[in-house]
Structure 1
Amino acid sequence: MDYSLLAAGAALLACVLAVVGLHVFAAGRAQQQALVERLAAAGRIPPPPGRARRFAGIDRRVRRTRAGKRLERRIATTGLDVTPGEYTVYTVAALLVAYFVVGAVFTDFFGLIAAAVTVWGASAYLNWQRGRRTEAFIGQLPELTRILANATQAGLALRTAIAMAADELDDPAGSELRTVADQLAIGHSLDDAMNELAERLPSRELTVLVTTLILANRAGGAIVSSLRNLTETLEERKETRREVVTLLSQVKVTAVAVPVLGLGFLLIINGMRSGALDDMTRSFIGKLAVIVSAALYALGAFLINRMTRVRI
């Protein structure tokens, strides 16, 4: 019995279960935090104390750098409750774990590749979280436009309607509109506040809403009818987007399965002859072949994602 192959399979399974467990834990914590915030806003429980920030010294050093300032802006658009210092420490820790685990299962050369993939994955996670938050906001746009239309029809000012929508909607729309309402309260113009919102959560639907509100604020006009027509359009687009996502779900799974198959082939090769990967990565040709193969697998996953990206 080849115990090295069994150990490699067990390590891979443990990594997969760890990722799934972290995802479930993060989703549960987010739901718990949202529930606590709603109960605190309703006055049923006292407001929770602020979370103690970790790695304060590292966070201060990271924020002073230009890259740290860009990282802070990126994290702000994702809605994650994490500081730039915490994100940096977690990324470095994940990099080291990936290097040592993959290096122990395969070779040190593959550990370096895993470390590079981890750095890319940390950045890609911020982009994914930003897109996920944007998608959630888009899903709330029909309800948002309905609230704004009802409030303006009742004679309320647009700024008051935005503050009312911030109180009634859940996150992410509630927190984003609360930011807009706070900016308006301290003297920012509606154009600047809404444009900043569109920059934080870029999407066609939000751009249309922002343009409608800005034009109505500047020139007046039938804002109620415009918002009601926009509500109907957003409802139709929401249903269409849901159908498209369902149709393309199988293809998106293929994009994930392609690199996983490559990793499985490496395990099979190493199981067929012990030390095969060590022999392959000792030579320059072998290292070049590994890099080219990894690049081709990444290119395949990227092309599949690009082909299945349907803009509605």
Structure 2
Amino acid sequence: MDLDTLITLTTGVALLTCALAVAGVHAYARGRAQRAELVERLTSAGQVHGGGRRRRFPTLDRRLRRTGIGRRLELKLAATGLDVTPGEFSVYLLAAVAGLWLVGQVTLAPFFGPIAGLLGVWAAWQFLTWQRQKRIERFINQLPELARILANATHAGLALRTAIGMAAEELEAPAGEELAKVANQLAVGHSMDDALGELAERLPSRELVVLVTTLVLSNRAGGQVVGALRNLTETLEERKETRREVRTQLSQVNMTAYAVPVLGVGSLFLMNGVKDGALERMTGSPVGQGAVVIAFALYAVGFVLIRRMSRIDV
């Protein structure tokens, strides 16, 4: 091969490589633009939600969803059933923390400003946990009726997918909403195991795990799902009554757990009201600041211990 042929071949390969590179960059840029357009269209459509409410802070919400913390917060909010996006919740939380920081700094002492802000973050997280647990309790109370509907539908010859869609239409929230999500996932090609597994992750409970396991095994092995669901319905009814009795017996203990930190915070306002400026003088030294931090830590430990001792898994 002479030198001219080698130069021509090298030039042709270089030009072909450049052309492929330009085509690849063009395809990548077009794909990115189409994806951004799709996300923008879906976000714009999702800004109006439930009763025509327009979503606030859409830009912040999109950026927050791309982070790990934002995705975890989104799952937490989805489990609570609240009509709030991660962006909205973050803005509201920052505003509440700033307000509590200012109130604690002005009414008590400058040292209590950051503590009040941290208490605001803890209170917001506890509120989400409480809302999630309340939604789980409501879902558990609907499980006997859900199992009964699925048993009757499968006994009538309907497929399990169709039975889940029927139950989503007949049951109220939260069971109806959660089953509608499962039905939508099944409609777009998700497997029964994945769709029901995500349901169990969103609303974790022993009763739901038993129901999901029964449905998955029956669907996978082709067993007698009707008999299993009817037996499960009776068991869920009994567990429902037992949980109600246990919750009634422990209501006073649970109130005590929340009363302990409330009394601690109230004592600070009482101390400052009896002698104006007492807290500011107390937190003016490292010893006083350390005593306050230790006191709040002890209140937190007491709250956790009371909650742990009053937790009875049924």
Normalised by the length of structure 1, the TM-score is 0.82
Identity of aligned residues (%): 62
Residue number among 264, 283, 297 corresponding to 1:281 in the alignment: 283
Distance 1:294 1:223, change over 3 A: same
Deviations 1:84-113 (A, max 9, x none): 110110000000111111222211211210
Residue number among 287, 292, 295 corresponding to 1:293 in the alignment: 295
1:307 corresponding residue in structure 2:
309
For residues 65 and 144 of structure 1, what CA distance do their matches in structure 2 show? 36
Q: Which one has the largest radius of gyration?
A: 2
1:208 corresponding residue in structure 2:
210
Unaligned runs of 5+ in 1: 1-46
For residues 223 and 69 of structure 1, what CA distance do their matches in structure 2 show? 35
2:56 corresponding residue in structure 1:
54
One-letter code aligned to 2:239:
R
SS at 1:309's partner residue?
Answer: coil
For residues 138 and 83 of structure 2, what CA distance do their matches in structure 1 show? 17
For residues 307 and 76 of structure 1, what CA distance do their matches in structure 2 show? 29
Shift of 1:125: 2.1
1:92 corresponding residue in structure 2:
94
Shift of 1:256: 1.3
Deviations 1:142-161 (A, max 9, x none): 00000001111111111111
Aligned residues: 266
1:153 corresponding residue in structure 2:
155
For residues 125 and 254 of structure 1, what CA distance do their matches in structure 2 show? 17
For residues 70 and 180 of structure 2, what CA distance do their matches in structure 1 show? 26
One-letter code aligned to 1:64:
R
CA RMSD of aligned residues (A): 1.5
For residues 50 and 220 of structure 2, what CA distance do their matches in structure 1 show? 41
The more displaced of 240-249 and 114-123 is 114-123
Shift of 1:283: 0.3
Distance 1:130 1:61, change over 3 A: same
Distance 1:51 1:275, change over 3 A: same
Residue number among 118, 122, 135 corresponding to 2:124 in the alignment: 122
SS at 1:80's partner residue?
Answer: coil
Shift of 1:221: 2.2
Shift of 1:170: 0.3
Shift of 1:48: 6.4
For residues 92 and 174 of structure 1, what CA distance do their matches in structure 2 show? 33
1:19 corresponding residue in structure 2:
none
Deviations 1:168-225 (A, max 9, x none): 0001100100111111111111111111111111111000000101111111222111
For residues 287 and 55 of structure 1, what CA distance do their matches in structure 2 show? 38
For residues 122 and 269 of structure 1, what CA distance do their matches in structure 2 show? 26
For residues 63 and 164 of structure 2, what CA distance do their matches in structure 1 show? 37
For residues 217 and 64 of structure 1, what CA distance do their matches in structure 2 show? 35
Residue number among 102, 111, 114 corresponding to 1:112 in the alignment: 114
2:173 corresponding residue in structure 1:
171
For residues 168 and 50 of structure 1, what CA distance do their matches in structure 2 show? 24
Residue number among 192, 197, 200 corresponding to 2:199 in the alignment: 197
1:80 corresponding residue in structure 2:
82
2:135–2:174: 8 Å Cα contact kept in structure 1? yes
Residue number among 209, 222, 231 corresponding to 2:233 in the alignment: 231
Unaligned runs of 5+ in 2: 1-48
For residues 50 and 197 of structure 2, what CA distance do their matches in structure 1 show? 32
The more displaced of 264-273 and 144-153 is 264-273
1:40 corresponding residue in structure 2:
none
